[in-house]
Amino acid sequence: MRRLVMAAVAVALLAGSVQANTVSPRDKVRAWRQAHEQQIYADFTKLLAMPNVASKLADVDANAAYIQGLLEARGFTTRLLRAAPGTPGSIFAELKVPGAKRTVLFYAHYDGQPINQQGWLNPPFQPTLRTAPPATAPVDPATAATKLDPDWRIYARGAGDDKASIQVLISAFDALKAQGIKPSVNIKLLYEGEEEAGSPHFGAIIGQNRDLLRTDLLIMGDGPMHQSGKQQINGGNRGIIGFSATVYGPAKPLHDGHYGSWAPSPTVMLADLVMSLRDEQGHILIPGIYDDVTPISAADRAALDALPPVEGDLKQALALGRNIGPARLAEGYLAPTLNVRAIHAGDEGPSAANAIATDGTLSVDIRMAPGEDPKLVQRITEDYLATKGWTIVRDAPDAAIRMAHPKVLRLVWDPGSSAATKTPLDTPSAVAVAGSVGRTVGYPVIKLPLMGGSSSIDEAVNQLKAPMVGISVANYDDNQHARNENLRIGNLWDGIEVYAGLLADLDW
Amino acid sequence: MRRLVMAAVAVALLAGSVQANTVSPRDKVRAWRQAHEQQIYADFTKLLAMPNVASKLADVDANAAYIQGLLEARGFTTRLLRAAPGTPGSIFAELKVPGAKRTVLFYAHYDGQPINQQGWLNPPFQPTLRTAPPATAPVDPATAATKLDPDWRIYARGAGDDKASIQVLISAFDALKAQGIKPSVNIKLLYEGEEEAGSPHFGAIIGQNRDLLRTDLLIMGDGPMHQSGKQQINGGNRGIIGFSATVYGPAKPLHDGHYGSWAPSPTVMLADLVMSLRDEQGHILIPGIYDDVTPISAADRAALDALPPVEGDLKQALALGRNIGPARLAEGYLAPTLNVRAIHAGDEGPSAANAIATDGTLSVDIRMAPGEDPKLVQRITEDYLATKGWTIVRDAPDAAIRMAHPKVLRLVWDPGSSAATKTPLDTPSAVAVAGSVGRTVGYPVIKLPLMGGSSSIDEAVNQLKAPMVGISVANYDDNQHARNENLRIGNLWDGIEVYAGLLADLDW
């Protein structure tokens, strides 16, 4: 490890950004961070306190303005890129570094998932420091004797997904500046404002600003770290399309004793629909859906085999008596997955009645593997549903339509979609990233061929024709997309060091 | 028809209850009803305004006390029969008629289904008169020029199911008394207070009061009329058992991109469970569930064939493009039906997230046909689920239980259950009922071998060893068990005449 750290110092020296002394830039960053924990925490809290649900434009705009202010204050030039008036903007920021030969564009998103889930420990936009799970007792950060316990966590929507990526870059920049370390690359930032809404305008924003966004490498900050807690990089993301489906039974609720033997039941129609789409073990039943999937390469197979085993601990943490699909979690990322996000029909609990419901709804997403075309997957899905007897409509069907067809399905595709993107991790820029991160953390970084999640980054990768490497900051158990999203404090500190390392010596 | 009416007058004369004049008792009843519509409507409104959700004991008790008062004022002796302190009581009322040789016990229930459904046109305990559907505009009954339009409806929980049965008997009694017509039978009433909660104590109440309740015939007032709008009688009800089932996924919600290929999904587990229980066409897949079902007799087949066809109109009214199961609605009543009342897992709508839910719930009932033993059906259902890999538990499973078994199912049976009861409609007392009702309505009554719904009346039929005939009052489209339960005003008037006819001349 020592050799690598010395190499980093050497690189930094070549870039003329470090004084030739015996303290490594990473040690300087750490010292600065340790001296400024309370301030960094307070800054992050302020960022997280800003409501950022993707569907609320005014909230999203307020976040953008605030973040632009933070960046301008640090010498970045910024612009808010909107595809059209009234749509969420992506923040573009740029800092040119004299002498730098490479440009790196860091992507993150500042919007967040909806917050209406039951069971939040604190209101999602009142960020709260809590002790490590399962205790999760609130802690006043001001009472921390010397420093914040790295196992404490901050609970708020966006803590892990994805404001952490923004905070660590800003704090890393502050650390370098304070310590007199000059970045090794020209920095571009692209912070999206509607990732959690499916990025309906992100492709247009990229398309309208290709020159502005031109880069030698995309670094993608979204997504959780490896379950082992070790730092990882990844070569991309799966694609995603999603839809909501509504099935129809009788036009009004019916007594199920008098009509259950005769009237079609929306609850059962939903179940039948689900089981026609996939089986309980996760195999997708849509003909052709696996046809275009890029086979797992020997390099990827080796990378998968090298991943630390986490599945046993995961089952323990999640109280699971089994898994479905491949035994190795990350292997499943290289194939498509069809998720039934929600299924709802009929009253239950205090409103329960022995009644046949009038309709039922399903929410589905399909995570697509490299090689798959979202448009084609949409088409084969609809074609398949037609063979199962469904008449697909887009609007709520009237009585005439419902009577004219045995099985009417209102299918509405989610506004956003993305294709999978995959940069082989032996690409030179990716090798450089792995080297920099490894120097920071002191061990060989975990290389994940692909993340299981999705990202609108596909638009940037494809339109900018740049390689992409993903670096995660958030703890894997950050409850992203769910209630009680959180970021482990230690991940905030580590993220700052990783980003500072990249800014200080990334080059290839 | 004329001959029948004259026969009725002759019977009434023999009972010494009618003056020998040319006005039939039925005409007298109608005249009285027409003169008292506003009063009857006001009385019914007062009864419906009393909250009666089966789970709220204080509300149910208040209804009981009120109804007992109504009956005491009319000369009945009453008692509230409770199986145990703190449980809902059944009202027993009795009126002995000098000279009567038969005793008839009228059953109804005064409790109602839950009211938490969305979409009520008016609060369920603020009874509101409305014009005929689909307009359903509110009407002030006091503004009715001469009389209330029989196609108007009163909207309130319990309007059809089952306070209508109570109101028509009381009004029928008032009509006979006002017109000097003496009942032909000794009258017993048994009005249950927890039918909609599954009648957990009704069997005990019957068992503790067999002598008190002894009767020659049970007349069961619960359930809707034939869809043709014609008066019908029925020979019984299907049985019912129900359960709620909870399936378990990861102990906390997971990002479905990162974990969807690996973590079991509660949405899919629910769908798989449903499709293992029945198919989309209604065929039940639990082995043995059809074994004990009493085959359809030639008489029942003839009765089914004689039923007015209603299925075409029903499809129109319900906007259905098809039916499942037998083409004739009533044929399905002679076989078991498994209904999935509700299916719920995952967040949707404004709380939607790309997450794997932690659990999911199903609500199921099984309507059993004559010949089936509820306990046996429960057992074969659980045995079958075990063969499908489910480990059945009764309480919320802890992490150790969830990890020790691949598929854990929390299965909680509903507290109440009932077996099917069936009185052949050629039983002498049933023939007498059909004759009386036919004389009132002026056409041969429709004979339905069995209702599709269920009733705790099975306890009375079995323990009292009495035949039972069901007579329905409520319009078939009364939205019973659902939002906007209602009673058509014309059904209230007709029900009074039918019950008055029975009280005036029922004998065999």
Q: Which of A263, A341, A402 sits opposite B355 (nearest CB)?
A: A341
A307 touching B (Cβ < 8 Å): no
Instruction: Please state which of the ranges A145-149, B5-9, B19-23 shows the lowest mean pLDDT.
Output: B5-9
Q: Which of A251, A258, A332 sits opposite B319 (nearest CB)?
A: A251
Determine the Cα angle at A403 with ends A398 and A405, to 5°. 105
Predicted confidence (pLDDT) at residue B179 exceeds the cutoff of 90: yes
Separation of alpha carbons B467 and B429, rounded Å:
8
Select from 1.10.10.10, 1.10.3720.10, 3.40.50.1100, 3.40.630.10 the CATH code of B2-237+420-505. Answer: 3.40.630.10
A483 touching B (Cβ < 8 Å): yes
**Chain B residues touching residue A264 (CB < 8 angstroms):** 280, 320, 322-324
Q: What is the pLDDT of residue B311?
A: 96
Query: Cβ of B229: how many Cβ atoms within 10 Å?
Result: 16
Q: What is the pLDDT of residues B218-277, one digit of tens each?
A: 999 888 888 888 999 999 999 999 999 999 999 998 999 999 999 999 999 999 999 999
Separation of alpha carbons B435 and A488, rounded Å:
79
Strands (E), B12-127: 77-81, 90-95, 103-109
Among B residues 340-359, those touching chain A with beta carbons less than 8 Å apart: 340-348, 350-357
Instruction: Please state which of the ranges A12-16, A128-132, A145-149, B418-422 shows the lowest mean pLDDT.
Output: A12-16
Q: Does residue A174 or residue A25 have the better pLDDT? A: A174
Q: What is the pLDDT of residue A352?
A: 63
Select from 1.10.10.10, 3.30.70.360, 3.30.365.10, 3.30.465.10 the CATH code of A239-293+335-413. Answer: 3.30.70.360
> What ipTM score was computed for the predicted complex, to two decimals?
0.83
Separation of alpha carbons B465 and A447, rounded Å:
77
Predicted confidence (pLDDT) at residue B350 exceeds the cutoff of 70: no
**Chain A residues touching residue B405 (CB < 8 angstroms):** 321
How many Cα atoms sit within 13 Å of B267 on the Cβ side?
31
B415 touching A (Cβ < 8 Å): no
Predicted confidence (pLDDT) at residue A39 exceeds the cutoff of 70: yes
Question: Hey, what are B396's tokens?
Answer: 């919320």
Chain A: residue whose CA lies nearest to B403: A321
Predicted confidence (pLDDT) at residue A47 exceeds the cutoff of 80: yes
Chain A: residue whose CA lies nearest to B347: A342
pTM: 0.82
- How many A-B residue pairs are in contact by the CB < 8 A criterion? 352
Indicate the residue type of B141: P
Q: What is the pLDDT of residues B140-151, one digit of tens each?
A: 988 876 689 999
Q: What is the pLDDT of residue B22?
A: 60
Extents of the domains making up chain A: 2-237+420-505, 239-293+335-413
Indicate the residue type of B247: V
> A340: Cβ–Cβ under 8 A, 6 or more apart, which residues?
A274, A277, A278, A362, A363, A364, B265, B267, B268, B271, B346
Predicted confidence (pLDDT) at residue B424 exceeds the cutoff of 50: yes
Separation of alpha carbons B474 and B194, rounded Å:
19
Predicted confidence (pLDDT) at residue A105 exceeds the cutoff of 60: yes
Predicted confidence (pLDDT) at residue A15 exceeds the cutoff of 90: no
* 3-state SS, residue A478: coil
Chain B: residue whose CA lies nearest to A250: B318
CB contact under 8 A, B351 and A267: no
Q: What is the mean pLDDT of chain A?
A: 92
- For residue B416, give the nearest of B358, B377, B455, B474 by alpha carbon: B455
A396 touching B (Cβ < 8 Å): no
A112 touching B (Cβ < 8 Å): no
B309 touching A (Cβ < 8 Å): no
How many Cα atoms sit within 13 Å of B407 on the Cβ side?
19
Q: What is the pLDDT of residues A313-354, one digit of tens each?
A: 999 999 999 999 999 999 999 999 999 999 999 987 655 678
Q: How far is B30 from chain A (nearest CA, A)?
A: 31
Question: Hey, what are A61's tokens?
Answer: 């705009």
Among B residues 422-481, those touching chain A with beta carbons less than 8 Å apart: 451-454, 476-477, 479-481
End-to-end CA distance of chain A: 20
Q: What is the mean pLDDT of chain B?
A: 92
**Chain A residues touching residue B311 (CB < 8 angstroms):** 262
Q: What is the pLDDT of residues B354-397, one digit of tens each?
A: 889 999 999 999 999 999 999 999 999 999 999 999 999 999 99
Q: Which of B116, B282, B476 sits opposite A350 (nearest CB)?
A: B116
**Distances in Å between the alpha carbon of B131 and those of B34, B140, B151, B296, B487?**
19, 10, 7, 41, 12
CB contact under 8 A, B282 and A271: no
CA B180 to chain centre: 33
A366 touching B (Cβ < 8 Å): no
Query: Cβ of B283: how many Cβ atoms within 10 Å?
Result: 13
CB contact under 8 A, B354 and A242: yes
